[in-house]
Structure 1
Amino acid sequence: MSTVTSSLMRLFKVSRPISWVNTAYPFAATYIILGGKLDGLFFIGTLFFLIPYNLLMYGINDVYDYESDIRNSRKNSLEGAAETKKFHPTILWTSVITAAPFSIALILLTPIQAAAIFAALIFFVIAYSVKGLRFKEIAFLDSITSSIHFVGPMVFAVAITGFQPKAWPFALALFLWGIASHAFGAVQDVIPDRRGKLQSIATMIGARATVWLSTILYLLSVVVVAVQGGAALIIALAGLAYVANAAAYLKVTDKTSANANQGWRRFIWLNYGVGAVVTLSLIISVL
């Protein structure tokens, strides 16, 4: 295998391909549902949020989380990479170089309000991990910032298409879902994070309280969607799968927090199943 091919494969792993759809889909679906067309802006935005955005987000995270990641058994799997320090400059430069042209195009091609939202989104992507800001180590702000990473592409599409009021309940639901998901994901790392002197929502309030918070937020997200009626009821029913997945760990303790990894792995695949239901529901609502 050539050096270039090897580097590309490593960068591919860093970008968490299993999570690409979680950022591209909110933008693409929202853009089309709210009246956008299959135009240049749609394809530029969708492609950006599919690959460069994830490489930027997870690449920066992997570089600045290196010392803790090499001690985490979950890394070097579908849950993340743990690349050597020697490869870190390649990750950072490639992340910036691939994201820059898309970012410039999206800022120039969209209204000023949308461009400002996009710029803020990129800031939160960087601020989550980079040294000096490290929002991921500020309890509660860590989950809020992580959620912005996923609801942000949707809000960007809402801004491009004119801030239609009907979109906001669904944006709120996705925001609550994002906070719940990050918090639930933090539970499995309570012990290694404390050993590494890393702060998170889970290390601050404990594993059990975090799972309860996550479950409640998932349920609130479901309720927000359900009250929209129509095809949204189908999406809400599918969303109950997240509630059930988190609720299975309501009795978890800090000592048994690593067991939540099973639920986190189910969560990763739930995104595809629930995503399929969302897609069918959107098609039904349009027909």
Structure 2
Amino acid sequence: MASSRSPAIDHQPAPTSRVSARSTIGRLVHISRPVLWINTIGTGVLGMWLTGQVLDAAAIPLLLWLTLPFNLLIYGVNDIFDQETDALNPRKGSIEGARIEPREVRLIVWAVAITNVPFLLWFVIAYPPAAVGLILLYTLVFVFYSAPPLRFKQRPFLDSLSNAAYGLPLLIVPVALGAPPLWPAVIGLLAWSVAKHAYDAVQDIDEDREAGIRTTAVLLGPRGTAVWSGCWWLVSTALFALVSVPVAALNLAIAGVLVVWMLLRPTPATGRRLYPVSIAFPYVAGSLASGLQLAKMFFEVYG
């Protein structure tokens, strides 16, 4: 007698290509360090607001570029050339940064090219030559921070000074929109970025020294780096005060805590312990600066 049961239905798994694509995108986002996007997109948005516009359509492509594409360029290139030190660094593999495998290098190179080149071509068409020049400078500084032959990362003081480039969106965006830059804010943020880079490198002194990498932090040690960063943060505070006393006061307070704590306990472990505070620094100070600027714009229109 024939069985009346229906044949079993073969449940097929989800297409592996879809899963693989989702996994690849997630991996690239992780490499781009979303927790640090504030240093690019936050600065770009503030630069737009300082022109007096809440949202300028001409700035949208530039702001989009300052999210995943540009951060993938910064940190993807960095991860490619820092595999030796990253293998020794316990922070890598977390939200603070990826630890890549050699087989991922090709993927990162292609992803950086695909996500950045179209934007760069659009900028050449859409923005004034001065803005395009600044964008190219911004890009090249971060490429050669990690990549040979320049590799600023291995050149004491130049490693820290080159990271002033984190402040460039405050200049790039107004120039791209044909508006005058707010120079005290621009130069203040350049100085602030020099300080923060050196300070954050204290936590990696042991790993960099073991890998033969001589950074400002390795050369000066934790205490000397605290003094170096403190001087630059004082410069940024004085310049911010020309724009906003509350922002300058907050900047001085947070920087003061970071510097004094490091001077009291000058070790890489202190740098690791304070790194969350350093990450929060631009979020807190940027939120105050943005809030005050938006309030000013509101009262100028409706006051």
TM range (shorter): over 0.9
What is the aligned-residue identity percentage? 29
- Please, which of 263, 271, 281 is the counterpart of residue 250 of structure 1? 263
The yes-or-no answer on 1:171 pairing with 2:203 is: no
Runs of 4+ with deviation above 6 angstroms: none
Note if contact 1:184-1:264 (Cα within 8 Å) is conserved in structure 2: no
Gaps (5+ residues) in structure 2? Answer: 1-15
- Please, which of 169, 174, 177 is the counterpart of residue 153 of structure 1? 169
CA shift digits 1:218-258 (9 cap, x unpaired): 12211211133xxx1111122121232232111344xx222
| Alpha-carbon shift at residue 108 of structure 1 (Å) | 1.5
Residue matched to 2:289: 278
Residue matched to 2:36: 19
Q: Distance in 2 between matches of 1:143 and 1:262?
A: 21
Note if contact 1:107-1:118 (Cα within 8 Å) is conserved in structure 2: no
Letter in 2 for 1:145: S
Residue matched to 1:216: 231
The yes-or-no answer on 1:59 pairing with 2:99 is: no
- Please, which of 5, 17, 24 is the counterpart of residue 7 of structure 1? 24
TM-score, normalization by structure 2: 0.88
SS for the counterpart of 2:93 is coil
Residue matched to 1:262: 273
| Alpha-carbon shift at residue 39 of structure 1 (Å) | 4.0
Moved more, 205-214 or 264-273: 264-273
Q: Distance in 1 between matches of 2:163 and 2:96?
A: 15
Q: Distance in 2 between matches of 1:147 and 1:66?
A: 24
SS for the counterpart of 1:77 is coil
- Please, which of 119, 122, 126 is the counterpart of residue 136 of structure 2? 119
Note if contact 2:77-2:147 (Cα within 8 Å) is conserved in structure 1: yes
Q: How many residues align?
A: 280
| Alpha-carbon shift at residue 209 of structure 1 (Å) | 0.5
Q: Distance in 1 between matches of 2:201 and 2:151?
A: 15
SS for the counterpart of 2:263 is coil
Q: Which is greater in Rg?
A: 2
TM-score, normalization by structure 1: 0.92
| Alpha-carbon shift at residue 216 of structure 1 (Å) | 2.1
Residue matched to 2:210: 195
Note if contact 2:184-2:242 (Cα within 8 Å) is conserved in structure 1: no
Aligned pairs for 1:91-102 within 5 A:
91-102=108-119
Q: Distance in 2 between matches of 1:265 and 1:275?
A: 16
SS for the counterpart of 2:88 is coil
The yes-or-no answer on 1:49 pairing with 2:66 is: yes
Note if contact 1:36-1:42 (Cα within 8 Å) is conserved in structure 2: no
RMSD, aligned α-carbons: 1.7
The yes-or-no answer on 1:135 pairing with 2:145 is: no
| Alpha-carbon shift at residue 285 of structure 1 (Å) | 2.5
Moved more, 20-29 or 66-75: 20-29
Gaps (5+ residues) in structure 1? Answer: none
